[in-house]
Structure 1
Amino acid sequence: MTLSTQTMTDEQRKALILEYFNTFDRGGIRSTGEPILSLFADDCMVWFPKWGLAKGVDEVGQMFADLGSTFEWIDHTTSHLNFVFSGGTTVAVEGLTRGRHRDGDWQAGRPQWGAGRFCNIFEIWDMKIQRLHIYLDPDYAGRDTDRYPWLARELSAAR
């Protein structure tokens, strides 16, 4: 990773993170017309469950293309994001999503155990995302229930 040369405020980091979520919701095109990858450092690292660690903008682009091909649309509820600033370059962000995945629709809280809640850990400096780890349940449509006895019981009781 590159060495930091430009001081950033927490508000600047927050603005960049909001641009990231809004860009993702617009299908990867920033408000400036640039692609989402312009928010990332050339040597960035991004981790997503069931995909793994992407290193550099080319691999991150492939990861986003792979993930994006499974969605019809997604909405990060940016008005309800919870930002936790470290006092340094790291920012944790909790939030909610809803959308339409190739396996079906989802919305945070419907059902309570389902997909839609996330926590992302960003490292940001020099006005770029250097590292991003995305923590969430990638079973957007809630189909992976047989392996969890408490979910299987709940679903059979509801039938």
Structure 2
Amino acid sequence: MAIATLTMTDEQRKSVALEYLKAFDNAGVTSTGGSILDLFAADAQVMFPKWGLATGREQIGRLFADVGGSLASITHHYAEFTWVFSGSDLVVVEGTSHGEHKEGPWRAGVPEWGAGRWCDVFEIRDFLIQRCFIYLDPDYAGKDTARYPWLSES
């Protein structure tokens, strides 16, 4: 990771995280028309469940292409976000989403056990994302039910 040179406030870190989430909702295009990858440091890391750890913009681009290739659309519910600031470079945001996966639609809470609830842990320095670990159920269409007997009971 790069050495920090610019001091940032929590609100500035929040604005970088929001720009990332809004770009994800906009097929990877930022509010200025740039690529979502421009929001990351050159040696950044992103972790996505069932994909693994991507290091550097090239691998992060491949991760986003793989995950994004299975989604027709996604919308994050910004008004419902919960933000946690650490007093350092870490920002945690918990939220909900809905969208269309290639295997079907999803919406947080429908069903209650399904996809749509998520939590992202960001490390943001120098106005760039250094690390983003994404915690969610990647079974957007809710098809992986055979391995969980309690789901057939609902």
What's the offset of the Cα at 1:79? 1.5
Distance (whole Å) between structure 2 residues aligned to residue 43 and residue 17 of structure 1: 17
Which residue does 2:68 correspond to in 1? 68
What's the offset of the Cα at 1:142? 0.6
Corresponding residue pairs, total: 154
Which residue does 1:87 correspond to in 2? 87
Identity of aligned residues (%): 55
What is the identity, as a one-letter code, of the residue corresponding to 1:135?
Answer: Y
What's the offset of the Cα at 1:48? 0.1
Which residue does 2:37 correspond to in 1? 37
What's the offset of the Cα at 1:97? 0.6
Alignment of 1:45-64 (within 5 A): 45-64=45-64
What is the identity, as a one-letter code, of the residue corresponding to 1:61?
Answer: G
User: After TM superposition, where is structure 1 displaced by more than 6 Å over at least 4 residues in a row?
Assistant: none
What is the identity, as a one-letter code, of the residue corresponding to 1:70?
Answer: S
What's the offset of the Cα at 1:65? 0.5
* TM-score normalised by structure 2 residue count: 0.99
Q: Mark the runs of 5 or more structure 1 residues left unpaired by the alignment.
A: 155-159
Is the Cα contact below 8 Å between 1:107 and 1:115 reproduced in 2? yes
- 3-state SS of 2:135 partner: strand
Which residue does 2:127 correspond to in 1? 127
Distance (whole Å) between structure 2 residues aligned to residue 104 and residue 147 of structure 1: 19
What is the identity, as a one-letter code, of the residue corresponding to 2:7?
Answer: T
- 3-state SS of 2:30 partner: coil
Which residue does 1:153 correspond to in 2? 153
- Give the CA RMSD over aligned residues: 0.5
What is the identity, as a one-letter code, of the residue corresponding to 1:82?
Answer: T
Q: Mark the runs of 5 or more structure 2 residues left unpaired by the alignment.
A: none
Which residue does 1:19 correspond to in 2? 19
- Greater Rg, structure 1 or structure 2? 1
Is the Cα contact below 8 Å between 1:123 and 1:129 reproduced in 2? yes
Distance (whole Å) between structure 2 residues aligned to residue 83 and residue 39 of structure 1: 19
